[in-house]
């Protein structure tokens, strides 16, 4: 009996630690997290490196139809599975999109209709961005969430979108 009494506090402590780990894991994967930004494709909106942003995953999970043109969307790259990237949403299902308004990757007269269940994404720095102009419309199944705010560096804190408007649409 005394052995059980001595083992009980460590087991209870281990269970609390396991619960905390599981809650943290669920929060990061289903609600949101802080991510570091790297790469030139979103210049000048975001720096090439050294910035941290809050990724909102919950709103997209609760309302996948709540995406709007202009949102900063995070998704798994169709070209590099397992790599997550961020681009600006330019076209929703049914939209007619100019494939490349810059003319650097396709004739500027070429247009495409975004199919159902897909979106059209493009980096703000079109010259240095691999985006829908390279891999076409992105399936909604690859979307992970949206960027809510830049939180670091502190002198560049920016709210990209009011999170409550995402839930109301």
Interval 103-115 mean pLDDT: 84
Interval 87-109 mean pLDDT: 86
Give the residue carrying structure tokens 């460590």: 10
87 annotated active-site: yes
Burial of residue 18 (CB within 10 Å: 0-12, 13-18, 19+) is exposed
pTM of the entire structure? 0.81
Residue 86 pLDDT level (bands cut at 50, 70, 90): very high
**Domains of the chain by residue range:** 1-30, 31-168
Query: What pLDDT is recorded for position 53?
Result: 93
Burial of residue 125 (CB within 10 Å: 0-12, 13-18, 19+) is middle
Q: How far apart, in whole angstroms, are the C-alpha atoms of residue 169 and residue 146?
A: 14
Give alpha helix (H) positions in 31-162.
58-62, 132-135
Mean confidence (pLDDT) of the chain: 86
Q: Which of 62-66, 115-119, 163-167 has the lowest mean pLDDT?
A: 163-167
The answer to whether residue 165 scores a pLDDT higher than 70 is no
41, 59, 129, 132: which one is catalytic?
A: 41
Query: What pLDDT is recorded for position 169?
Result: 41
The answer to whether residue 20 scores a pLDDT higher than 70 is yes
41 annotated active-site: yes
Query: What pLDDT is recorded for position 103?
Result: 78
89: left (phi over 0), alpha (psi -120 to 50) or beta: beta
What is the percent of the chain where pLDDT is above 70? 90
Nearest to 130 by CA among 93, 77, 84, 89: 77
33, 38, 59, 87: which one is catalytic?
A: 87
Half-sphere exposure of 54 (CA within 13 A, CB side): 17
According to CATH, the topology of domain 31-168 is Umud Fragment, subunit A (2.10.109)
Query: What pLDDT is recorded for position 100?
Result: 83
């Amino acid at each position: 009996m005394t052995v059980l009494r001595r083992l009980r506090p460590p087991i209870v402590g281990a269970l609390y630690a396991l619960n905390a780990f599981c809650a943290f894991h669920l929060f990061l994967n289903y609600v949101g997290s802080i991510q570091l930004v790297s790469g030139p494709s979103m210049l000048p909106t975001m720096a090439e490196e050294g910035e941290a942003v809050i990724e909102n995953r919950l709103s997209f999970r609760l309302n996948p139809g709540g995406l709007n043109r202009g949102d900063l969307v995070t998704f798994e790259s169709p070209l590099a599975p397992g790599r997550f990237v961020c681009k600006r949403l330019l076209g929703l299902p049914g939209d007619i999109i100019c494939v490349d308004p810059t003319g650097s990757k396709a004739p500027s007269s070429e247009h495409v209709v975004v199919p159902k269940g897909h979106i059209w994404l493009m980096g703000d720095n079109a010259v240095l961005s691999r985006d829908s102009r390279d891999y076409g419309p992105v399936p909604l199944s690859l979307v992970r969430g949206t960027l809510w705010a830049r939180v670091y560096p502190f002198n560049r804190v920016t709210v990209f979108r009011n999170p409550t408007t995402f839930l109301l649409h």
